[in-house]
Chains A and B, each alone.
Chain A
Amino acid sequence: MPLIKIDGQELEVEAGSRLLDVALEAGIEVPHYCYHPALSVVGSCRLCMVEVEGMPKLQTACSTPIGEAPPDRKVDGKYDMVVHTDTDKVVAGQKLVLEFLLLNHPLDCPVCDQAGECGLQDYSFKFGNAHSRFDEDKRVRAAEELGSGVAINQNRCIMCTRCVRFTQEITGTNELYVHGRGYDTKIAIFDGLPLDNPLSGNVADICPVGALLLKDYMHTTRVWHLSHTESACVECSSGCSITVDATDNVVRRIVSRRNDQANGHFICDFGRYSFHKYERSEFKEPMRKTPGSGWEMIPWRQAYQLIADKVAAGGGPGAVKALASPTLPNEPNYILGQFMGRLSDRKNIALLPVTQLSDMEFPGGFRISGDKGGNSRGARDVIPALAASVKALHKTDTGVIIILDGDGRAEMKGDLTRLMAAAQFSVVVACMPSEVTQNADLVLPIAAPYAREGTFTNDQGLVQWLQPALHPPDDVRADWQVVAELGQQLTGEDHLYSYAGDVTWKITQTTVGYGQITRFRLGKLGQFTASAAG
């Protein structure tokens, strides 16, 4: 393997590695704009220039591969390459490139959404000049809409073409292209073919400056006021890693977070904008259906008492049925499975059916799962006694039915409608109104997705920790807590959990394949279950 030296640091690297990757991995900051690890290399921004001993000109680190030098050509007798990233020549080069990139840039940082997380700001601050020698008028061009979700501020663009390569290589949809030449170059769409693919929001994430903007987030907050919570997307079974950005207990935007175990660098627009679904009409308190037509808010204690009465009147605990949720974390599903197992010897629990589409795959390898449950695999893993289908629960009479509706992604049809109609009393655990809650007798409110905590298992068996970005309303409880309290009510046994991680620990102790998983090891990128890893 080639031995190289970067700024005095000796590194042994794979032949063929990119110099830029190697430097970044070693913690040496080499500024770059056009280079993105998920995209092809074009070497057009000229900012990642470094000095390589023996090469007369500065080299772009992104397009310089590392190879083995012949024995007689090694530097100091042993190095295959000796690189400097901080010599006078490099520093002067960086200053020049940054001065050029800022020639026509409007420097409208006070009103720019990117300010605070901008590559131009950061690199100008670290590597650039305080002054420009450009005295002419700056080129001024109108902002344009590229698609329903993305707009471009042409003045801020530095023509790195990351976005163009994204639509060519990752989505394969080719909406964006470079229009014109030289001074007149700009990013554009072909007339009538807008940037409207399901991954389009990513171009704003990968834009290193404030040129490509999410219309949804435009002029919403200053980025330095956002709290960043590293979590996972729960909208489908792909389980992409995300960062949830919030202020004032409101989600403002969701951005992608690299996780090579789950779809790499990007997220889809369904996940990106999903938080809007949960903004409105969250439940605040338990609600029972009144004989009239409306709903009545009741305290939790009264709600549980009501359930106990209905169970007693409806054939006892043995006639209780339950539907676990593919949209809720493993923790509530696990507790549900545990106590339902204690109520009857017969199968009395099934998985709530949610929308199943076919997977959507993109040329760059990105996959949107057709299973809109999100945690279907996890629910099956932690409830071994799951019945094959809702239909199987019809075999015996149903007294009280407990439905974990979660995010309300189930459709009221077929066996589900029949089961709810057959039940004497239905308790639905949900965060927001849905077709299922409309048909419930009692609704127990739980925290909405971005206020939720626990583990999610994607369809590949990757377990990730959901980190809550929001506080739920005062009287709304955690999903695992509500299910645990239900269990206590029905079995008479105390529940032993004081926080979500307690339940997670219990899951890892008792669930096949989850033995090696710990909250600590899950970290920010998650861990595969033993069955998935093996």
Chain B
Amino acid sequence: MSFKLKPDRARKYKALLKQYPDKRSLALPLLHMAQEQEGFLSGDTIKGVAELLDIAPGLMMETVTFYSMFYLKPRGKYLLQVCQTLSCSLAGADQMVDHVAAKYNLKVGETSADGRFTLVKVECLGSCGTAPVVQINDDYYEKMVGDKIDRVLDKLS
């Protein structure tokens, strides 16, 4: 299936085009838009983005695989990024990871069977004062001790 930007994003792309002297500079913003729209970057999506920007698909792939925030495989509706750096780890992040993994029967890096959650560990989220922290999609959930994570996840449909 070929990739096509939905109307609102297409308008945004057109507006952005005017801000750059070279279309290629739009690679990252456009990839983010495509990922927002499709959930992840499939081969067809990357090819579609490459075509829009007159870049070889290989070169586009080079960019996509260089950055850790582009996903080549489908992920859950909610991406749980648990901070694994020192403060969070001491404050119970590891227990949180184990708990979520056991509850939804998945390993770190995997997606739950119902397609809701993808669990990954990330480096410092910069919120040590409120450790342990999990970032769910674009939001921080702080001081996630005890069964607090269950209450948060249960509310997410």
Contact of B66 among A173, A174, A181 (CB under 8 A): A181
Asked if A174 and B59 sit within 8 Å, CB to CB, the answer is yes
In the complex, what distance in Å separates the CA atom of A189 from the CA atom of B57? 9
Dominant SS at the A interface?
loop
> Nearest chain B CB to A368's CB is how many angstroms away?
22
Q: Does A193 contact B (CB under 8 A)?
A: yes
In the complex, what distance in Å separates the CA atom of A69 from the CA atom of B120? 55
Contacting residues of chain B (49-70) with chain A, CB-CB under 8 angstroms: 56-59, 61-62, 65-66
Asked if A193 and B57 sit within 8 Å, CB to CB, the answer is yes
In the complex, what distance in Å separates the CA atom of A178 from the CA atom of B58? 8
> Nearest chain A CB to B60's CB is how many angstroms away?
8
Asked if B59 and A180 sit within 8 Å, CB to CB, the answer is no
> Nearest chain A CB to B33's CB is how many angstroms away?
21
Contact of A189 among B47, B58, B65, B66 (CB under 8 A): B58
Q: Does B92 contact A (CB under 8 A)?
A: no
Dominant SS at the B interface?
helix
Asked if B43 and A177 sit within 8 Å, CB to CB, the answer is no
How many residues belonging to B are interface residues under a CB distance threshold of 8 Å?
A: 11
Asked if B56 and A188 sit within 8 Å, CB to CB, the answer is no
How many residues belonging to A are interface residues under a CB distance threshold of 8 Å?
A: 16
Asked if B58 and A176 sit within 8 Å, CB to CB, the answer is yes
Q: Does A499 contact B (CB under 8 A)?
A: no
Find the residue from B57, B58, B59, B65 having the highest chain A CB count within 10 A. B58
Asked if B65 and A180 sit within 8 Å, CB to CB, the answer is yes
Q: Does A179 contact B (CB under 8 A)?
A: yes
Q: Does A192 contact B (CB under 8 A)?
A: yes
Contact of A191 among B43, B56, B66 (CB under 8 A): B43
> Nearest chain A CB to B50's CB is how many angstroms away?
9
Interfacial chain B residues near A175, Cβ < 8 Å: 56, 58
Contact of A174 among B46, B47, B58, B65 (CB under 8 A): B58
Contact of A192 among B43, B56, B62 (CB under 8 A): B43
Q: Does A190 contact B (CB under 8 A)?
A: yes
Closest residue to A178 on the B side, CB-wise?
A: B62
> Nearest chain A CB to B69's CB is how many angstroms away?
12
In the complex, what distance in Å separates the CA atom of A179 from the CA atom of B65? 6
Interfacial chain B residues near A193, Cβ < 8 Å: 57-58
Contacting residues of chain A (174-204) with chain B, CB-CB under 8 angstroms: 174-181, 188-193
Interfacial chain A residues near B46, Cβ < 8 Å: 190
In the complex, what distance in Å separates the CA atom of A180 from the CA atom of B66? 5
> Given A190-B43, A191-B43: A177 and B59 within 8 A (CB)?
yes
In the complex, what distance in Å separates the CA atom of A182 from the CA atom of B47? 24
> Nearest chain B CB to A495's CB is how many angstroms away?
58
Asked if B65 and A190 sit within 8 Å, CB to CB, the answer is no
Interfacial chain A residues near B47, Cβ < 8 Å: 190
Asked if B56 and A179 sit within 8 Å, CB to CB, the answer is no
In the complex, what distance in Å separates the CA atom of A191 from the CA atom of B62? 13
Closest residue to A192 on the B side, CB-wise?
A: B43
Task: Encode contact with B along A375-388: 1 for CB under 8 Å, 0 otherwise.
Answer: 00000000000000
Asked if A179 and B43 sit within 8 Å, CB to CB, the answer is no
> Nearest chain A CB to B75's CB is how many angstroms away?
18
Contacting residues of chain A (44-60) with chain B, CB-CB under 8 angstroms: none
Task: Encode contact with A along B61-84: 1 for CB under 8 Å, 0 otherwise.
Answer: 110011000000000000000000
Interfacial chain B residues near A188, Cβ < 8 Å: 58, 61
In the complex, what distance in Å separates the CA atom of A176 from the CA atom of B56? 10
Interfacial chain A residues near B66, Cβ < 8 Å: 180-181
Closest residue to A189 on the B side, CB-wise?
A: B58
Task: Encode contact with B along A431-447: 1 for CB under 8 Å, 0 otherwise.
Answer: 00000000000000000
In the complex, what distance in Å separates the CA atom of A179 from the CA atom of B64? 9
Contacting residues of chain A (141-194) with chain B, CB-CB under 8 angstroms: 168, 173-181, 188-193
Find the residue from B46, B56, B66 having the highest chain A CB count within 10 A. B56
Interfacial chain B residues near A177, Cβ < 8 Å: 56, 58-59, 61-62
In the complex, what distance in Å separates the CA atom of A517 from the CA atom of B149? 86
> Given A180-B65, A180-B66: A174 and B56 within 8 A (CB)?
yes
In the complex, what distance in Å separates the CA atom of A208 from the CA atom of B64? 27
Find the residue from A168, A174, A190, A193 having the highest chain B CB count within 10 A. A190
In the complex, what distance in Å separates the CA atom of A175 from the CA atom of B60? 11
Interfacial chain A residues near B58, Cβ < 8 Å: 174-177, 188-190, 193
> Nearest chain A CB to B146's CB is how many angstroms away?
37
Asked if A179 and B61 sit within 8 Å, CB to CB, the answer is yes
In the complex, what distance in Å separates the CA atom of A193 from the CA atom of B56? 10
In the complex, what distance in Å separates the CA atom of A192 from the CA atom of B57? 10
In the complex, what distance in Å separates the CA atom of A526 from the CA atom of B139? 70
> Nearest chain B CB to A24's CB is how many angstroms away?
30
In the complex, what distance in Å separates the CA atom of A193 from the CA atom of B60? 13
In the complex, what distance in Å separates the CA atom of A178 from the CA atom of B65? 9
Task: Encode contact with B along A384-400: 1 for CB under 8 Å, 0 otherwise.
Answer: 00000000000000000
In the complex, what distance in Å separates the CA atom of A188 from the CA atom of B46? 15
Interfacial chain B residues near A173, Cβ < 8 Å: 56
In the complex, what distance in Å separates the CA atom of A168 from the CA atom of B56? 9
Contact of A181 among B43, B59, B65 (CB under 8 A): B65
> Nearest chain A CB to B3's CB is how many angstroms away?
14
> Nearest chain A CB to B21's CB is how many angstroms away?
21
Closest residue to A175 on the B side, CB-wise?
A: B58
> Nearest chain B CB to A150's CB is how many angstroms away?
15
Contacting residues of chain B (17-62) with chain A, CB-CB under 8 angstroms: 43, 46-47, 56-59, 61-62
| 25 A-B contacts (beta carbon < 8 Å) | A168-B56, A168-B59, A173-B56, A174-B56, A174-B58, A174-B59, A175-B56, A175-B58, A177-B58, A177-B59, A178-B62, A179-B61, A179-B62, A179-B65, A180-B65, A180-B66, A181-B66, A188-B61, A189-B58, A190-B46, A190-B56, A190-B58, A190-B61, A192-B43, A193-B57
List 8 other contacts, CB 8 Å, given A175-B56, A193-B57. Answer: A173-B56, A177-B62, A179-B65, A181-B65, A188-B58, A188-B61, A190-B43, A190-B46
**Smallest CB-CB A-B distances: 7 pairs:** A174-B56, A177-B58, A177-B62, A190-B57, A190-B58, A180-B65, A181-B66
Q: Which residues of B pack against A, CB within 8 Å?
A: 43, 46-47, 56-59, 61-62, 65-66
